[in-house]
Amino acid sequence: MAPARPRSMFSEYAQNAGDIAARQREIGLKLREDIVGVIDGMNRAIEDAIDELDQGFLRPPLHASVANNVEVIVSMLIEQRDVTELPPVPAATAYAVILARNNVSGSALRRAYHIGSDHLLSHMFDLVNDLDCDPAEKLRLFHYLAGWTYKYVDAITRTVMAAYDQEVHRSRADAAHTAATYIDRVLGGRDLDPVEFRMATGYRLAQVHVGGLMWIADTGAAADQTEILTSLAHRIAERTGSSTIPLTTAIDRTSVRVWFGRQDNLTPITADQIRATVDTVIGARAALGSPAAGPAGFRATMTQAEQIKIIPRVSRADGAHVVAYADEAIPMVALTAADIDSTRRWVRQVLGNLALDNEAAERQRATLQTYFNCAGNTTETAKQLVMHRNSVKYRLDRAQEELGHSLLERTLETRIALKICQVLGTIVLTASNERDARALGA
């Protein structure tokens, strides 16, 4: 035996369809008699409950929308029409568009419909209660009207929210296009009125800027990532103490330019400061310029970001998906990343077997780089690596053998080659075999 179907609280009581239809029409006619009172009461209920909508210039379109909805509801009840036959609601749709243009939240619009329906149901309940019929019939009728009203609100909110969302999308696209036009003018070196630029973009030119590029790698034909990257830029701004909302403009569906306003703060933003934040978005990459002031700085910091973006694109090193121009040797490494094959050959020429792609060579490179960073002090190097000083000296002796010269000779090119290996990773290393690894030792 098949289980009984659960009974919906919005059941239309088909078995009493004739009685319900007659009573529905009766309620509709009674509502029409007091339609002005219903509309006025609904307006007051919405304005009292939602501060966002209780603004002078927004009241006339709200009142027009409420009147439009109440008139449609009354008409449909009298004519006994199904909610699926929803007619055009021009005033209600226009109100949704007005709210979108004035940056009123969509949640306020949804709440208005729920508050309005509660007010209407309360009015209907009083009318049903005054009917000359038995209590069971009143209950069935009110149950039906509650379901009908719920379905009306569901249908109308989908209609008006579609208009709202469409207007938000259009407004954002227009604003983004306008902002992009002004940004391109500044990047092109044209003089602009700073006040005009700020009105168009919401961002101040007369301050210190840190420009950057952010993108999401390996998205294929994914949806537009601009909102995700814009949100990421806002979190980076909070993390780094930027003074204003960052300025972002889309390059394409998966990448944006961004400027962080720093007022008069010339302290660089480092990769280490923002890496954890960037990592909250899978596949995100970032390249930041150095701080620079004014319109010229607006251009210069973005040029720097453009120059170093190649590192996150080609590097296979951990952490190199986020780079900053102000970090040690990053601009120089970016120059070498333009020709990976030539760089790989040069690194092998300078480092010998220390340029091999194996764990032993990696340990030797790390030891040697720490040694240089500690100004040749083996005691400090051992402390940094948490190793015995004799073990450090052994590694340095082996490294010197591989280099073919004293660690005091050709120091600059050795340090550059080590830095390139650290930043670009395995892409600039030479494939090795077990014999190579044994020759290097541990």
C-alpha angle 291/276/214, rounded to 5°? 55
Q: Give pLDDT tens digits along the chain (442 positions).
A: 444 444 444 444 444 556 787 888 889 999 999 999 999 999 999 999 999 999 899 999 999 999 999 999 999 999 988 888 889 999 999 999 999 999 999 999 999 999 999 999 999 999 988 887 888 888 888 899 999 999 999 999 999 999 999 999 999 899 999 999 999 999 999 988 999 999 999 999 999 999 999 999 976 656 789 999 999 999 999 999 998 999 999 999 999 999 999 999 999 999 999 999 999 999 999 999 999 999 999 999 999 999 999 999 999 999 999 999 999 999 999 999 999 999 999 999 999 999 999 999 999 999 999 999 999 888 998 898 888 988 889 888 888 888 888 888 898 999 999 999 999 999 999 987 645 545 555 4
Pairwise CA distance, residues 57 & 68, whole Å: 18
DSSP string, 309-324: THHHHH--STTTTEEE
Tokens representing residue 339 in the block: 């020709």
List domains and CATH numbers for the chain.
14-170 (1.10.490), 205-334 (3.30.70.270), 339-440 (1.10.10)
Contact 284, 256 (CB under 8 A): no
Exposure string for 362-378, b = 16+ CB within 10 A, e = fewer: bbbbbbbbbbbebeeee
For residue 358, give the DSSP letter.
Answer: S
C-alpha angle 165/167/168, rounded to 5°? 65
Contact 233, 256 (CB under 8 A): yes
For residue 191, what pLDDT is reported? 84
Contact 301, 210 (CB under 8 A): yes
